[in-house]
Structure 1
Amino acid sequence: MENSKAYSYNEAFESALKYFDGDELAARVWVNKYAMKDSFGNIFEKNPVETHWRIANEIARIEQKYKNPVSAQQIFELLDHFRYIIPAGSPMTGIGNDHQAASLSNCFVIGLDGDADSYGAIMRIDEEQVQLMKRRGGVGHDLSHIRPAGSPVNNSALTSTGLVPFMERYSNSTREVAQDGRRGALMLSVSIQHPDSEAFIDAKMTEGKVTGANVSVKIDDAFMQAVVEDWPYMQQYPVNSEHPFVKRTVSARELWAKIVHNAWQSAEPGVLFWDTILKESIPDCYADLGFRTVSTNPCGEIPLCPYDSCRLLSINLYSYVNDPFTDHASFDFDKFKEHVKLAQRMMDDIVDLEMEKIDLIMRKIEQDPQSAEVKSVEYHLWEKIKKKSGQGRRTGVGITAEGDMLAALGLRYGTQEATDFSVLVHQTLALNAYRSSVTMAQERGAFEIFDAKREEHNPFLLRIKAVDSQLYDDIRQYGRRNIACLTIAPTGTTSLMTQTTSGIEPVFMPVYKRRRKVNPNDADVRVDFVDEVGDSFEEYIVYHSKFLTWMQVNGYDADKKYSQEEIDALVEKSPYHRATANDVDWLMKVKMQGAIQKWVDHSISVTVNLPNDVDEALVNRLYVEAWKSGCKGCTIYRDGSRSGVMIPVSKKGKKKEDEKKPELAPCHHPEVTEVRPKELECDVVRFQNNKEKWVAFVGLLNGYPYEIFTGLQDDEEGIMLPKSVTKGKIIKRVNEDGTKRYDFQFENKRGYKTTVEGLSEKFNPEYWNYAKLISGVLRYRMPIEHVIKLVGQLQLQSENINTWKIGVERALKKYVSDGTAAKGQQCPSCGQEALVYQEGCLICTNCGASRCG
């Protein structure tokens, strides 16, 4: 039964904080992203125990439809404390949540057959992309069907504009969609055969272009061979036609050099080794039945055919290490095998739950007030997705904590010994997931279009035959429940809750240093650093959770204040030494990915992190090695090559750009809309917060709100500001230790400039977090009316009219263009959805009522 009791943010956070043993970041991640909410942000779960029971009860309900059902208690024990099995974000938030009509699928690919390069088809893809993103899905689609620039077209334009303008269109559509506080995710791909592929490769090199999409090039073996041998390469359009009407010969090596340079310079494009993907793909054995792979999801770990989708789940490998970080540590393969079988079973149950969600989405579309013509595209889209999902029942069982598992066993990530052990673990996972899928085929029936004859030459299944001939024979006799089963996805925020390394990646940093501001006059305060304005800071150490476990197991005092030299010595003694994201053997990491790929039927999302000073020759070598090793794709990130991505701490103790756990997200590639200027014009807006007087500073970029700060005014601890001040500048400053602060500077009547220092330090911590959220969506150009609606949904303790959030709403309303509709809001007087903004007020165009609150 669904929980109807709502909790405040603080109630949920405090309860989750206890659950996570004081890990604030894990607690905030759960509350912000995974606690059950309605579309207004009301929270209906107090801690992850309730989340896990919600999921367990729903999966157990599906289990009751089939033979030998697994109980809710068994499922809960696998989920509890994120110890063994962790559903990915969409299943975790959506299962059992009837407050929102959202999909459980993490990944979608779309695409049209036939005349797919027509303007109508291109617009249809744009609309389908947005419709999926609003349901929380990441989307990928291929652009190889669009005719190259200069090609004749049958309309008034006469010739095609080529790929790049449509890349920008799809990118902008992504940026318009908000998904529960996160931006939509898009993958755009193109074949290297396409005559416009060079323009595609260069598209993101212009700052501010195509910032809403990841881009990857589909590279075939013929091109790679031409690169190695320095042969010319033939491009054509249509790319797969026997009678193309556009042909051009290019230097494969020169085009490859451009790919390498751009990846070195900006971390994109990624590369997809397309012949490897198609050759290895089991679903492509059914290509003529609609399962021809055309692109990947935004992170690259799920190659998909049009209108197929996949749900993801990961297994926490660290939890199968007995006696971790001791000389007798061992991996519990027996427990692991049983849990893999259950994980695959749970994934199949989630396919059934997704079918229910799709039915719910389609019913909602039918009930929406729009005309049938408007609704038809979205309705037909979900019909196609439901059909494809039902035919293949594709699943995505993966792993997390690979780096911590190896360290706990005393194996150094990036060595041959560690790679060999990882391959054994992934082979075990593959065999037991496929065994589970065969068992379910016997109990529940094989996937709809299973045909053993079609699959008999598939390389992945032949590898299964070589190590387990009985399993292979059983697949041929009974079929499988699922057309494909496995993946390795990035587990970014879920790994914060497992308190482990993410996915297949090594640890980012085992130890890092932070600073907190202190009062030097307080007793027992140690001042480690004083900035240029005289503020005092105390330094403290933050340990990666499992590095802390290693310290405790090996008798090191985690409460001791260590010097930098002592910390360096500790790391050198640990199994994390020379095994972090930035100092592993990069070539060995690529080879490890290729070796593990042999036992993953979909793909692997992994990023090779490189220091800033590496040259392009190394990037070239890594990409070529990835191809030769059997990787299906590869992404390179050179430290500092992309603005907006975390910069690690050096041994000299320079401050990280963000206080959060360091994490490179290969999936979403966080980028800001523009590089923030050092100075921004600023409007000053005053308001009441209960009985307190507050002031808001709204930073403007090109006249558009870009960030917001608030604080108490005219108080000993607040902001002293003359009432005549209505404008000024917000100035971003970087302290000596690398930390940032934001100052407000204004000019008085006599022309003297006065500076209010450290705006963020004037915040109540809760308001500060909300203001960061608001600033984040402003920077991604969410329409102001939607930002105002978001502010109105924030869960603060006081709901009086004179609250902080009402003040912020008032501050933002002045930037809403007159006549903008307040969608979804009804007039309190006449009940009509006829409210528009006029000079910051809500005016009803039906009855004339005004809502200026």
Structure 2
Amino acid sequence: MKENLTKALPQTYSQDQAFEAALNYFKGDDLAARVWLNKYALKDSDGNIFELTPNDMHTRIAKEIARVEKKYANPLTEAEVFDLIKDFKYIVPQGSPMAGIGNPYQIASLSNCFVIGNSGDSDSYGGIMKIDQEQVQLMKRRGGVGHDLSHIRPKGSGVKNSALTSTGIVPFMERYSNSTREVAQDGRRGALMLSVSVNHPDSEDFINAKLEQGKVTGANVSVRIDDTFMQAVKDGADYTQKYPIFSENPKTSKVIQAKELWHKIVHNAWKSAEPGILFWDTIINESVPDCYADLGYKTVSTNPCGEIPLCPYDSCRLLAINLFSYVENPFTKKAAFNFDLFKTHVAYAQRIMDDIIDLELEKIDAILAKIDADPEQDDVKSIERNLWINIKRKAEDGRRTGIGITAEGDMLAALGIQYGSEEGNAFSLEVHKTIAVEAYRGSVALAKERGAFTIFDAEREKENPFINRLKEADSKLYYEMLEYGRRNIALLTIAPTGTTSLMTQTTSGIEPVFLPVYKRRRKVNPGDKDVRVDFVDEVGDSWEEYVVFHHRFKQWMEVNGIDTTQNFSQEELDELVKQSPYYKATSNDVDWLSKVSMQGAIQKWVDHSISVTINLPNDVSEELVGDLYLKAWEVGCKGVTVYRDGSRSGVLIANDEKKEEEAHADTLTPFPTKRPQTLEADVVRFQNNKEKWIAFIGLIEEKPYEIFTGLIDDEDGILIPRWVNNGLIIKNKDEKGATRYDFQYKDKRGYKITIEGLSHKFNPEYWNYAKLISSTLRHGMPIEKIVDLINSLQLDTESINTWKNGVGRALKRYVADGTKAKGQTCSNCGSENLIYQEGCLTCKDCGSSKCG
């Protein structure tokens, strides 16, 4: 009897077991397997893994969705839900829902993004600090946060405190940015969007804030631009900035030349990929929730990627529909898009999204219970508690959803349609119009069964342009909505789908393919049987080259009887691409103005917004960036971001204008000469020749400042849990007054654990080399140059060479993506067009990548 009452412990798996099973599930796709295992597999705070493959995860999600379904009429069964979401084929809950649904080990929200803000135009110091606390509380629950700064009075305005005048917006940008950088989210930092209206007198300071190196590194920034300003730019007219913004009786106002500020926005975006632009009048005029602005649904900012404009304390959960899976007979002459199945699944997707709102409300109740149970005093907990009460109220009243897509590029290729062509744009428009109509039809059907969102009022929405487009497209749907209402206040978005697309093994979101085929290298032992050595590097390591095909390009090859295991030459690969539907349809091929026009047309059928970046080559002019921004406004985009290749590494050292060459990474930018007592630190592990090494990398403004390295897990080495990825390096004094560097981290219970005297834990030889490298870091030598220096060291022992290679790899993690590698050529094609990308040297001409 006692045995029957004993609750069976859940099955657990080792990291290796789960990885091998996931690798098999993803058919050998190492990256997809690792992403799923690290980000989405169910695990507890001790690192125990409870899911072996994504099938287990999909079962977990399906059980929870089916449990909610039983509350309502005509419920879906667990099996029906599982069939819709299994194998990432049709419907894919994104990010927080995938990780959090049915997860008993984590008290976190299912929402991907939030917007916060004070009621009215309050800019009191207390109100500003409240926002700071709220964004931190949201980020620790895994959410990305956005808020607007237009309510803060401009620099020099009078205030009734000891300061007498306001400091303006920029200091608070830095405060919010620093708070974001301090919050850990399972190995990553939080995401923040800061916005301001171009009508604000401090908007130029806001626009310039990120140009100074090391400033506002924890936030994306976007400018809210109104139609009057854009028209003034076109007409070469003056524009009046005000505080409060757009006030009829402003406390402060100034007249500016619209074109001068416009050129500053364009220049900065060309230079550093920020600020992004939000066409605010378009957002507000098109917004269905803003029909209820007086009831608390006035849109004030967007989430960090810009795809969800939100009112204060509202949130949204994301889901993607895999468009590729609706192409029957892909890559053949019989290829066709199954619109009937697609329409059915869009309705199911909306139903699942509404179920996820109920699950989110349960999660919020758990968060509130956790807050109530915490030992802090009530006045300490009040801001966090009120925050979640406000979020819960908005979720209950509006029931906002975020249905999007992935695999747009692969869908078109599978149909034999070129991405970016007139035919491609027209077909994409038809698909997104179908999503809009069927998702709204699904929401009306849910209102019949479950009731409309609590404040639904058809009279309020009758002049809304988006609602009227639905009426024109399907009058029957419109009149049913008048009769029954709608379950959800707003429904649609197109969000980035980075990790989602890795698991669907498709192109990302609305974007075209980046490269259909490229080459990579893996290190090999030349003594092993059947090993092919294609390249020997400068330190004598042997590498085998292998071709990596984009998954759906490989499928095209298989459909056309092409042997995917063949060792192709570069010329043969180029010819393959020319024969494929991906030819002239990569991110570097697509006409930029055409892509902006496509975004504007599709935006008409997306009630929230679209997150899309226009990728440009390095040599484009500022004038082209300005033309793209202007075109985006004219065709009805709600927002736009451009990224000029390599621009992230070209930020200015200071606000004064410098030549491009002077702004390059070769410019030395020393750190402060006095070392702070405490530094944030990353922990990097590496292994060579079966030796396990560890590096503690002290950071200032997320850039390496010092490094300590040595062997791990030997009798003289560092013993530290594998899950520890960051902590603090603290400069102390020992009993004799000598300098000592300690590493401190928090254990699973939150207790601080200190490893004293890193210098005494490592071999003195490694310590001395580490001091040399740290000195070059502190004096601002570019990291890629330091890596070259380390590689050039002539060291005697094999063990030291192992250390040298590992330290070089550890530091390359911090080279800014897009940084050009000078003085090196591609061993595959001989090109000098090499850049660092995620720590690897990548050839921009042939795609070859070296990560050693």
Residue 622 to residue 687, structure 1, CA distance change in 2 (3 Å): closer
Residue 396 to residue 253, structure 1, CA distance change in 2 (3 Å): same
| Matching residue's letter, 1:756 | I
Task: Work out which of the residue numbers 757, 768, 771 in structure 1 matches 2:801.
Answer: 757
2:192 paired residue number: 186
Q: Are 1:355 and 2:361 matched, yes or no? A: yes
Q: Is the 8 A contact 2:242 2:254 kept in 1?
A: yes
Task: Work out which of the residue numbers 32, 36, 49 in structure 1 matches 2:42.
Answer: 36
Match runs of 1:282-321 below 5 Å? 282-321=288-327
Cα deviation for residue 38 of structure 1 reads: 2.2
Point out the more displaced range, 562-571 or 339-348: 562-571
Q: Measure, in 2, the Cα distance between the counterparts of 1:522 and 1:17.
A: 23
**Local SS of the residue matching 1:727:** helix
Q: Measure, in 1, the Cα distance between the counterparts of 2:447 and 2:494.
A: 24
1:545 paired residue number: 551
Q: Are 1:728 and 2:734 matched, yes or no? A: no
Cα deviation for residue 242 of structure 1 reads: 1.7
| Matching residue's letter, 1:148 | P
Q: Measure, in 2, the Cα distance between the counterparts of 1:83 and 1:605.
A: 22
Q: Are 1:202 and 2:205 matched, yes or no? A: no
2:675 paired residue number: none
Q: Measure, in 2, the Cα distance between the counterparts of 1:3 and 1:215.
A: 47
Q: Determine what percentage of the aligned residue pairs are the same residue.
A: 64
Cα deviation for residue 47 of structure 1 reads: 1.2
Q: Is the 8 A contact 2:404 2:494 kept in 1?
A: yes
1:555 paired residue number: 561
**Local SS of the residue matching 1:140:** strand
Residue 620 to residue 705, structure 1, CA distance change in 2 (3 Å): farther
Match runs of 1:780-795 below 5 Å? none
Q: Measure, in 1, the Cα distance between the counterparts of 2:729 and 2:713.
A: 26
| Matching residue's letter, 1:129 | Q
Cα deviation for residue 722 of structure 1 reads: 6.5
Match runs of 1:578-589 below 5 Å? 578-589=584-595
1:638 paired residue number: 644
Q: Measure, in 2, the Cα distance between the counterparts of 1:408 and 1:681.
A: 50
Task: Work out which of the residue numbers 386, 398, 420 in structure 1 matches 2:404.
Answer: 398
Q: Is the 8 A contact 1:187 1:213 kept in 2?
A: yes
Residue 674 to residue 510, structure 1, CA distance change in 2 (3 Å): farther
Q: Are 1:472 and 2:472 matched, yes or no? A: no
Q: Is the 8 A contact 1:337 1:428 kept in 2?
A: yes
Q: Is the 8 A contact 2:730 2:743 kept in 1?
A: no
Cα deviation for residue 644 of structure 1 reads: 11
Q: Measure, in 2, the Cα distance between the counterparts of 1:356 and 1:213.
A: 30
Residue 215 to residue 348, structure 1, CA distance change in 2 (3 Å): same
Q: Measure, in 1, the Cα distance between the counterparts of 2:172 and 2:466.
A: 36
| Matching residue's letter, 1:529 | F
Residue 411 to residue 24, structure 1, CA distance change in 2 (3 Å): same
Q: Measure, in 2, the Cα distance between the counterparts of 1:642 and 1:333.
A: 41
Q: Is the 8 A contact 2:791 2:805 kept in 1?
A: no
2:581 paired residue number: 575
Q: Are 1:593 and 2:599 matched, yes or no? A: yes
Match runs of 1:391-430 below 5 Å? 391-430=397-436
**Local SS of the residue matching 1:642:** helix
Q: Deviations over 1:166-218 (max 9, x none)?
A: 00000000001111122100000000000000000011111111110000000
2:74 paired residue number: 68
Q: Measure, in 2, the Cα distance between the counterparts of 1:528 and 1:217.
A: 50
Task: Work out which of the residue numbers 448, 451, 454 in structure 1 matches 2:454.
Answer: 448
Q: Measure, in 2, the Cα distance between the counterparts of 1:601 and 1:326.
A: 34
Task: Work out which of the residue numbers 596, 603, 609 in structure 1 matches 2:609.
Answer: 603
| Matching residue's letter, 1:759 | W
Task: Work out which of the residue numbers 161, 183, 202 in structure 2 matches 1:177.
Answer: 183
Report the TM-score, using the length of structure 1 for normalisation. Answer: 0.80
Q: Measure, in 2, the Cα distance between the counterparts of 1:279 and 1:140.
A: 20
Unaligned runs of 5+ in 2: 1-6, 652-698, 732-740, 746-761, 815-852
Q: Is the 8 A contact 1:683 1:727 kept in 2?
A: no
Q: Measure, in 2, the Cα distance between the counterparts of 1:4 and 1:742.
A: 51
Task: Work out which of the residue numbers 7, 10, 34 in structure 1 matches 2:16.
Answer: 10
2:54 paired residue number: 48
**Local SS of the residue matching 2:522:** strand
Match runs of 1:344-743 below 5 Å? 344-643=350-649, 682-684=707-709, 688-689=713-714, 726-729=767-770, 743=790
**Local SS of the residue matching 1:757:** helix
Residue 264 to residue 762, structure 1, CA distance change in 2 (3 Å): closer
Report the TM-score, using the length of structure 2 for normalisation. Answer: 0.80
| Matching residue's letter, 2:252 | V
Q: Measure, in 1, the Cα distance between the counterparts of 2:611 and 2:187.
A: 23
Q: Is the 8 A contact 1:302 1:602 kept in 2?
A: yes
Task: Work out which of the residue numbers 102, 121, 132 in structure 2 matches 1:96.
Answer: 102
Q: Deviations over 1:670-726 (max 9, x none)?
A: xx965857xx7544556644x796899999999789999xxxxxxxxxxxx966663
Task: Work out which of the residue numbers 311, 328, 331 in structure 2 matches 1:325.
Answer: 331
**Local SS of the residue matching 1:233:** strand
Residue 165 to residue 569, structure 1, CA distance change in 2 (3 Å): same
| Matching residue's letter, 2:158 | P
2:659 paired residue number: none
Q: Measure, in 2, the Cα distance between the counterparts of 1:321 and 1:568.
A: 26
Cα deviation for residue 251 of structure 1 reads: 0.8
Q: Are 1:248 and 2:254 matched, yes or no? A: yes
Q: Is the 8 A contact 1:742 1:759 kept in 2?
A: no
Point out the more displaced range, 699-708 or 155-164: 699-708
Q: Measure, in 2, the Cα distance between the counterparts of 1:124 and 1:253.
A: 36
Match runs of 1:96-245 below 5 Å? 96-114=102-120, 116-245=122-251
2:826 paired residue number: none
| Matching residue's letter, 1:131 | Q
Unaligned runs of 5+ in 1: 646-671, 709-720, 777-853
Cα deviation for residue 743 of structure 1 reads: 4.1
1:274 paired residue number: 280
The alignment of Structure 1 onto Structure 2 pairs a total of residues equal to 725
Q: Is the 8 A contact 1:742 1:758 kept in 2?
A: no
Cα deviation for residue 757 of structure 1 reads: 3.0
Q: Measure, in 2, the Cα distance between the counterparts of 1:4 and 1:289.
A: 46
1:26 paired residue number: 32
Residue 568 to residue 369, structure 1, CA distance change in 2 (3 Å): same
Q: Is the 8 A contact 1:742 1:757 kept in 2?
A: no
Cα RMSD for the two superposed structures: 3.2
Q: Deviations over 1:619-654 (max 9, x none)?
A: 111111110111000010011111499xxxxxxxxx
**Local SS of the residue matching 2:278:** strand
Q: Deviations over 1:797-853 (max 9, x none)?
A: xxxxxxxxxxxxxxxxxxxxxxxxxxxxxxxxxxxxxxxxxxxxxxxxxxxxxxxxx
**Local SS of the residue matching 1:756:** helix
Q: Is the 8 A contact 2:69 2:75 kept in 1?
A: yes
Q: Measure, in 1, the Cα distance between the counterparts of 2:204 and 2:806.
A: 50
| Matching residue's letter, 1:434 | Y
| Matching residue's letter, 2:305 | C
Cα deviation for residue 758 of structure 1 reads: 4.7
Cα deviation for residue 576 of structure 1 reads: 1.1
Residue 699 to residue 190, structure 1, CA distance change in 2 (3 Å): closer
| Matching residue's letter, 2:803 | L
Q: Is the 8 A contact 2:271 2:650 kept in 1?
A: no
| Matching residue's letter, 1:63 | E
Runs of 4+ deviating beyond 6 Å: 691-708, 737-742, 744-748, 752-755
Match runs of 1:259-270 below 5 Å? 259-270=265-276
Q: Deviations over 1:90-114 (max 9, x none)?
A: 0011111121110000110000114
Q: Is the 8 A contact 1:211 1:673 kept in 2?
A: no
Residue 49 to residue 705, structure 1, CA distance change in 2 (3 Å): farther
